[in-house]
Structure 1
Amino acid sequence: MNGPPSPYPHGPMLTDAALTVYRLNGQFLALGDALARPAGITVAWWQVLSAVLGTPMSVAGIARLRGLTRQGVQRVADLLVDKGLAEYETNPAHRRAKLLCPTAAGRAAIEAIDPDLEAAADRVIGALGHEGLLEVVDALKRLSAALEFDPADLKSMP
């Protein structure tokens, strides 16, 4: 028996999207670990280091860019500095919020990942095609933008 239609038909679609993204996240973390480990870094270190390859950034800026907590990024950034993979430099825009930038060793660690990352990308493109992967990335970016709201705003009125 099917019964009457649900008054909430869209929730299951969003749940399916979330569960798919959670699985995808796990797959990306496993891939990232496999790629980063031979370079002597972790996925978390890679996430933070790659954010500052082009331009030094504050910890808060990295956290916003990567969708992470400032405290979590701060812990990783301090570890990267302790390991000699990054360093803090003065931030002309903010006296207390230093900028994180990679050292030569940090850049070398990221560059060591590149050949295997390219092989992984080639494998994915082999399955999806170049245009197919671009469409997936675009759809994920649109989904991320659509989720940019405060969940507290969803509370039902009494």
Structure 2
Amino acid sequence: MNEEQDLLDAAALTVFRLNGQFLTIGDGLSSPVGISVAWWQVIAAIQEQPQPVAGIARAMGITRQSVQRIADLLVDKGLCEYRPNPAHKRAKLVAMTADGDAAIRRINPQHAAMARRLADTLGPTEFAATVATLTRLSAALEALIAEDELQARRAEEAVGQPVTTRNVQ
């Protein structure tokens, strides 16, 4: 392996570890309120405005099916509701209910305390720089994925058979 491969591996392993750490912290914040961290993520995605399931999935970087399953559970629990989508008849909007808003409000004090602790540990400037770096890394990876998907579509057109680029094993 070369230095660039080592860096890619180190970045991926660090992000995987961060994901686990964020899930652990998120579970600690959300479970006392009676919701899972996955439920909290979906509710947080629609906190500002209702979104279709596909939009939530894109923003979170997970599959539409995963979000659909969670949205259905949230609707069943009364934390969210489906609303008509003026932009698309079949793709309803997922919207937070008053109970969903109350759950988020119950999490907010502990969430704010954890954010303060992390900012105190890293320092505000380093915290902001870390977020900016992670955002740039995500954008760069998304651009590479889009480029690969475009090349795959062109290859499919050339040979007339599907070519897989995501989740390659």
Is 1:57 aligned with 2:51? yes
Q: Is 1:118 aligned with 2:115?
A: no
Residue 14 of structure 1 corresponds to 8
Give percent identity, aligned residues only: 54
Counterparts in 2 of 1:9-158, with a 5 A limit?
A: 9-148=3-142, 149-150=144-145
Runs of 4 or more above 3 Å deviation: 151-155
Q: How many aligned residue pairs are there?
A: 149
Shift of 1:51: 0.6
TM-score (norm 2): 0.84
Name the aligned partner's letter for residue 38 of structure 2: A
Higher relative contact order (CA 8 A, sep 6+): 1
1:116 to partner: Cα distance: 0.5
SS in 2 for 1:10: helix
Looking at structure 1, the residues matched to 116 and 46 of structure 2 have their Cα atoms a distance apart, in angstroms, of 25
Partners of 2:94 and 2:120 in 1: how far apart? 36
Q: Which amino acid aligns with 2:67?
A: V
**Aligned-pair CA distance for 1:9:** 2.6
1: distance between equivalents of 2:117 and 2:106? 19
Instruction: Output the TM-score relative to the length of structure 1.
Output: 0.90
Instruction: Provide structure 1 residue ranges, at least 5 long, that are not aligned to the other structure.
Output: 1-5
User: Once the two structures are superposed, what CA deviation does each residue of 1:40-93 show, in whole Å capped at 9, x if it has no partner?
Assistant: 110100000011111100000000011110000000000000000000000000
Offset at 1:104? 0.3
